[in-house]
Amino acid sequence: MKLAGVLAGLMTTLSAGAAFADGEVNIYSYRQPELIQPLLDAFTKETGIATNVLFLDKGLVERIQAEGENSPADVILTVDIARLTEAKEGGVTQSVVDETINKDIPAKYRDADNQWFGLTTRGRVVYASKDRVAQNEITYEELADPKWKGKICIRDGQHSYNIGLFASMIAHHGADYTEKWLTGLKNNLARKPNGSDRSQAKSIAAGECDIALGNTYYVGVMMTNDKEPEQKEWVKAMKVLFPNAGDRGTHVNISGMALAKYAPNKDNAIKLMEFLSSKPAQEIYAEQVFEYPVLPGAEPSAVVKSFGTIKPDQMPLTDVAKYRKQASELVDKVGFNDGPSQ
């Protein structure tokens, strides 16, 4: 595969204390290498600055903490407000006050202390059966309506994607309402929460449930999955509903970036961050990951546009993130992962 050859030639495994040339920038990433490589290739072509990537599927913050002042990390790329907050609270980021970045990235997708910046968003939407769900509008609140009893599928309630949504419900309605809502949602489940967002789509296609919660980008992944073409059939059986399109808007989460605390190549790191906030980079990134650019005026890909129009919730993600712990506690309190009580 051509991309694999490119990655083999360009990717470098990093280690603490390693020496790097002035013309490089070192990236610690929670995002899969193949998703960010086109971006990095474009950055190197434009600036001449080489990129080195260390991909981790967990433990990124702990890695940088252990490396301390000798850490080669310059830029952190990650997904989810929880991981961005974790990096800040873990003391592995530093503030960046940059006119270009602040101009491109709306304030609601930036940390108030300039410790992290959003790059793309994904909606937490409803996957609905084309055959069994007539309506084309829905709200999150409605998911607790008994009319959906036995018809909803969902992954683990403690998964960060769901905790983000539940935290947004607390932010909008308060903890008491959200506890009752979670109980109603739990009682409408077709089974115990399990699987991934994609497996919820599979369950809809199989007739095991009528609606499910899932991220928008998985729809794009399934639509274009030539290696597992059965996933294309799952998508054909469902439609995407954007909850609360008629009022506050759909809950979104972000992928984002941060400047590492001890960045040895700080100037190059900031050049990369400025590049990532630009329109060309935003559109490359959004197309690669089937997400929405945060830069106003930057366009999502044709695949993403095919899902329909998203109206994002305007509440700043920092206001949502502060309720994540409480949301997690409520999931346990109502026994959400035990599934329906009947």
Q: What's the pLDDT tens digit per position in 131-173?
A: 999 999 999 999 999 999 999 999 999 999 999 999 999 999 9
Please give the domain boundaries of the chain with CATH numbers for all domains: 2-120+253-299 (3.40.190.10), 122-250+312-338 (3.40.190.10)
Nearest Cα residue to 86 out of 109, 64, 55, 119: 64
Looking at residue 49, its pLDDT comes to 96
pLDDT of 7 higher than 70: no
Q: Which residues pair with 27 in a beta bridge?
A: 53, 75
pLDDT of residue 318 exceeding 80: yes
In sequence order, the 6+-apart residues with CB closer than 8 A to the CB of 2 are none
Which uninterrupted H or E stretch holds 94? strand 93-94
Strands 211-215 and 292-293: unpaired
Q: Look up the pTM and report it.
A: 0.87
pLDDT in tens, 235-278: 999 999 999 999 999 999 999 999 999 999 999 999 999 999 99
Does the structure show a pLDDT above 90 at 329? yes
Residue 9 reports pLDDT greater than 60: no
In this predicted structure, the answer to whether residue 10 has a pLDDT above a threshold of 80 is no
Q: Give the H or E element holding residue 155.
A: none
Buried b or exposed e, range 17-32, using 16+ CB within 10 angstroms: eeebeeebbbbbbbbe
Residue-wise pLDDT for 181-190, tens only, equals 999 999 999 9
Give the model confidence (pLDDT) of 240-252 as tens digits: 999 999 999 999 9
| Continuous H helices in the chain | 2-10, 33-47, 60-67, 81-89, 99-104, 160-173, 175-187, 197-205, 216-223, 230-236, 266-276, 279-289, 302-305, 317-321, 324-333
